[in-house]
């Protein structure tokens, strides 16, 4: 676990609007991570970006401090100016070893989330790891870490009330949208077909909204969501020419530049002067700041949910200690498992060595004696040696594990 390091930028130290500057473009994300992995001698790595955090999870013997983080972030080509880089580095949280493990477990259980008790973070963390694994960026160490992360989060959600009457960024955003009292036949444009928009769409559908147009870079994903909603699918580029009007926009994409520019918004209005609603749950925002300056808009974003999030934390505060106890128990169990794993890796050549000794004894050292035995005697000798071989493999392994565990 000593090689586990985390570089974290979160809502606790950084304004959500600023956090978006650290989000990496998905199109060349894998290439960039492979490049920094090779450049900095990182054994394993994956990248997590949600509406309230950007984190890099590493397994590396390298010393990870603010100087390392500076070089690391700079090599990712985010285009940050000197002042922004300094601000972000000052706000970065760097964890290693036990503290890094505790941070990941707390994160997976939503204890570090803007909305404590929301379960989306576990799915997001798993997806981030799986993406890294599929890209060949992770290996055995982070696999073991993630197994513990998932196990711990499930125990916290099962054995505490931290997620009772669950609240999430999506549900809070829908509550604010509901307060605007849109009619059920409101024309709703959904930009992006990821998990966040799928989740908020379920709320809309549940409350009888039925007029949907879904836009996405990958048309097949737009079609899938549109089919679920009984709506129509479009490619993202079609926003520029869409003239059917709208009452609300729900947007959440992984774009690093605004999707809804003043030109596109004016085109979507197509002369309509009514006040519209935008629910923008993307980090960075999909809506250009100029849109809000030039047009009358009901704007709902992640940042505006902070006060509700604080109230939610107060309501769940008494569950935190129970969750933290579960986390500490799992870290203790994980440390024992790691010791056992080290023994297994260290002794994985024992079976081969024992087989070599056996073959040498039968075929070389005692070859003449073995050859002189009758068939029945050879069969008995074979059984005895098979039995001894199994015991010589299993007994030292068990004893070594017990010695190592009991010595601490």
Reported residue count of the chain is: 408
**Could you give the CA distance from residue 335 to residue 126 in angstroms, rounded to a whole number?**
21
Name the residue among 6, 276, 330, 12 with its Cα closest to residue 153. Answer: 330
12 labeled binding residue: no
Separation between Cα atoms, residue 33 and residue 132, nearest integer Å: 9
Residue with tokens 């050859």: 371
Has 195 been labeled as part of a binding site?
Answer: yes
197 marked among binding-site residues: yes
d(CA 236, CA 214): 9
> Looking at residue 260, what DSSP letter applies?
B
Q: Is 53 annotated as a binding residue?
A: yes
CB 277 within 8 A of CB 298: yes
Alpha carbon 369 to its chain's center: 63
Does 193 count as an annotated binding residue? yes
Is 41 a known ligand-binding residue?
Answer: no
On whether 50 is known to bind a ligand per the annotation, the reply is yes
273 is in an annotated binding site: no
**Rg of the Cα trace of the chain?**
28
Is the Cα torsion angle 17, 175, 109, 318 positive or negative in sign?
positive
Residue written as tokens 């931290």?
Answer: 162
Say how many C-beta atoms besides its own lie within 10 A of residue 84's C-beta.
14
112 marked ligand binding residue: no
According to the annotation, is 192 in a ligand binding site? yes
Where in the sequence numbering do the catalytic residues fall?
Answer: 51
Confirm or deny that 168 is annotated as ligand binding.
Answer: no
Whether 49 has a binding-site annotation, put simply, is: no
Q: Which residues are annotated as part of the binding site for substrate?
A: 50-53, 113, 118-120, 124
Binding positions for NADP(+) are: 192-197
Binding residues: 50-53, 113, 118-120, 124, 192-197
């Amino acid at each position: 676990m000593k090689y586990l390091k985390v570089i974290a930028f979160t809502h606790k130290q950084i304004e959500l609007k600023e956090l978006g500057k650290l989000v990496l473009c998905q199109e060349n994300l894998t290439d960039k991570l492979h490049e920094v992995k090779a450049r900095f001698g990182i054994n394993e790595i994956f990248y997590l970006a949600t509406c309230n955090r950007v984190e890099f999870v590493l397994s590396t013997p390298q010393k990870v401090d603010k100087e390392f983080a500076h070089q690391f972030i700079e090599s990712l080509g985010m285009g940050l100016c000197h002042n922004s880089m300094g601000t972000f580095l000052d706000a970065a949280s760097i964890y290693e070893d036990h503290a890094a493990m505790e941070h990941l477990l707390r994160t997976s259980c939503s204890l570090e989330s803007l909305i404590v008790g929301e379960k989306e973070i576990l799915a997001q963390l798993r997806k981030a790891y799986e993406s890294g694994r599929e890209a060949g960026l992770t290996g055995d160490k982070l696999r073991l870490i993630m197994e513990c992360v998932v196990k711990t989060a499930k125990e916290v959600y099962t054995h505490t009330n931290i997620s009772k009457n669950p609240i999430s960024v999506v549900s809070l955003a829908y509550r604010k949208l509901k307060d605007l009292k849109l009619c059920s036949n409101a024309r709703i444009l959904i930009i992006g077909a990821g998990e966040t928009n799928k989740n908020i769409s379920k709320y809309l559908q549940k409350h009888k909204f039925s007029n949907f147009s879904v836009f996405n870079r990958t048309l097949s994903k737009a079609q899938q969501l549109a089919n679920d909603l009984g709506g129509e699918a479009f490619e993202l580029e079609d926003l520029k020419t869409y003239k059917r009007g709208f009452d609300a926009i729900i947007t959440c994409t992984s774009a690093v530049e605004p999707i809804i520019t003043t030109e596109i918004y004016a085109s979507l209005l197509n002369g309509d002067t009514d006040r519209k609603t935008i629910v923008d749950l993307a980090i960075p925002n999909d809506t250009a700041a100029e849109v809000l300056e030039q047009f009358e808009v009901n704007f709902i974003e992640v940042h505006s949910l902070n006060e509700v999030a604080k109230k939610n934390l107060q309501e769940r505060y008494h569950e935190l200690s129970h969750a933290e106890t579960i986390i500490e128990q799992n870290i203790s169990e994980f440390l024992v498992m790691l010791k056992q794993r080290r023994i297994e890796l260290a002794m994985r050549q024992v079976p081969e060595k024992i087989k070599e000794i056996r073959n040498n004894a039968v075929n070389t050292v005692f070859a003449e004696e073995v050859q002189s035995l009758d068939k029945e005697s050879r069969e008995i000798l074979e059984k005895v040696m098979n039995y001894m071989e199994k015991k010589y493999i299993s007994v030292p392994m068990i004893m070594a594990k017990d010695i190592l565990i009991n010595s601490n």
